[in-house]
Amino acid sequence: MSTHFGDRPMYIGGEFTESDSGEWMDSVNPATGEVHGRVPAGTVSDVDRAVRAAAAAQPEWGAKSVWERGDLLRKLTAEMKRRADDVLPMEAADTGNTIASLGGDIVLASGYMNFVAGLGIEIKGESVPATAEHIHFTMRQPYGVVGRIVPFNHPFLFAGAHLSAPLLAGNCVILKSPDQSPLSASIMAEICHKVLPPGVANFVSGEGIVVGDAIVRHPQVPRIGFTGSVPTGLAIQRSAAEVAVKHISLELGGKNPFIAFPDADPKAVANAAVAGMNFAWSGQSCGSTSRLMLHESIYDQVVEDIEAQVSAIKVGDPLDHNSGMGPVNSEKHYQHVTGLIESAKQEGARLVTGGSRPEGKEFEKGFWVRPTVFADVTMDMRVAREEVFGPVLSILKWSDREEVIAMANDLDMGLTAAVWTNDIKTAMDTVRRVESGCIWINGAGRHYMGTGFAGWKNSGLGREECLEEVLSYTRSKSIHIIM
């Protein structure tokens, strides 16, 4: 499980560079707790340097046709696929996600970039017959410089996917890699260096409270996209509001309900509930359906099936293709996850499986947690109300439809939800009333290109994975030709 990737520089204005401070920050292998690489500890001046490079490159980039920019995005996707053998072991070692699952990240990132590459012709205005004698129309133009801040759970996937829309729209980008798991963004920087003109895509590493805040507060960065936690999203809104009126997109946390009605097949529900937890990523997914709400008539059978499946997950080296789950991402996150596990035990939840560190010499170091299931959870418990962002499934029992809808909506988050029933009327009544931005009927977890992904309530602001995301990186102006 030991790995070493050396020093990985930032990328600003077409050059690979250290921080102005000369300082570096460690990246830790979560399977061993050992330092296995370093990235520059970026500063406010590094961010300013990146913004100036992006601003200088933007006029020429924005002057390219949407066809030219789309072609360059397609070249990026080809390079991403070509570098897969470099990305996958680094990403697995740096995040703790299993290498067997990470091939899908390359497919998703390149697939989304290819999808976006074909949307350029849709960046269009409209003609409005406001008067009979004059000509009135709208047009869309890029913001100029965009800041994108990506999370630790899928850093390469998000580095690629989150460049797509702003670049196609004619913006240049400052991308901040995550505080934890920052290494693979450097490979995306190498790919951009090979394909894009200098200054179009810039990569800055460092602590969020320094580099992220500097991006948010920079007066020449009017458009910001962030994926991460609710508290950080709220902090970004506050920081931005102190300096300017900015357009901010937020894709934040979730405590997502999975509602199973009495007519649903118990075995299918159990299979979907386990799949929806994303254990291959140690449950570290904002969309994980971590609150399973079972009707009392199928409760015992589903719990039994889930126990059998989850207890059989092989926890091990994320670089081993046979491992079903690796460690959680960092020591700080380990403390968060295990703290919520302990609170569930103390508050009376029934531990079905897991709930501790795996046994064995290979698990003595690093940030290991067994995949965990609690039954008999109630909505007054912390584990039912707080985002664990880890391998912890909470199972709740219900008997009345009004009761379960109230349970589903009884939080300030609303990212995803799943509804399982064979009755389409029941399904549609439920999805209309559940306060979530993405809902599956008889499914869980999968994203569908072009349909959009967005949170309600404190789970987000703005839509991604669709044309609306591309258009959100443009500003509209109205033109009136007086004849």
What pLDDT sits at residue 415? 98
Which candidate in 251, 464, 465, 469 is catalytic?
251
pLDDT of residue 3: 82
Length of the chain: 483
How far is it, in rounded angstroms, from Cα 286 to Cα 464? Answer: 14
CA angle (119, 120, 125) in 5-degree steps: 105
- CATH for 257-448? 3.40.309.10
Q: Would residue 126 show up in a list of annotated catalytic residues for this protein?
A: no
Report long-range pairs for 302-307 (Cβ below 8 Å, ≥24 apart). Answer: 302/260, 302/266, 302/269, 302/270, 302/273, 302/395, 303/352, 303/373, 303/375, 303/395, 305/266, 305/267, 305/270, 305/271, 306/270, 306/273, 306/274, 306/352, 306/373, 306/393, 306/395, 307/352, 307/353, 307/373
Q: Which of 172, 192, 286, 438 is catalytic?
A: 286
Predicted TM-score (pTM) of this structure: 0.96
Domain 10-252+459-481 sits in CATH at 3.40.605.10
Residue 310: CA count within 13 A, CB half-sphere: 32
- Decide if 201 contacts 175 (C-beta within 8 A): yes
Distance (Å, rounded) from C-alpha 104 to C-alpha 87? 12
- Residues 274 and 196: their CA atoms lie apart, in Å, by 41
Q: Could you read off the pLDDT of 322-361 as tens digits, one per residue?
A: 999 999 999 999 999 999 999 999 999 999 999 999 999 9
Q: What is the pLDDT of residue 36?
A: 97
Q: What is the pLDDT of residue 477?
A: 97
* Average pLDDT by stretches of 10, the chain with 483 residues: 89 98 97 97 98 99 98 98 96 97 94 97 97 98 98 96 98 98 97 98 98 98 98 97 97 97 98 97 96 99 98 98 97 98 98 97 96 98 97 98 98 98 98 98 95 96 97 98 97
Give the start-to-end residue ranges of the domains of the chain: 10-252+459-481, 257-448
Could you confirm whether 286 is annotated as catalytic? yes
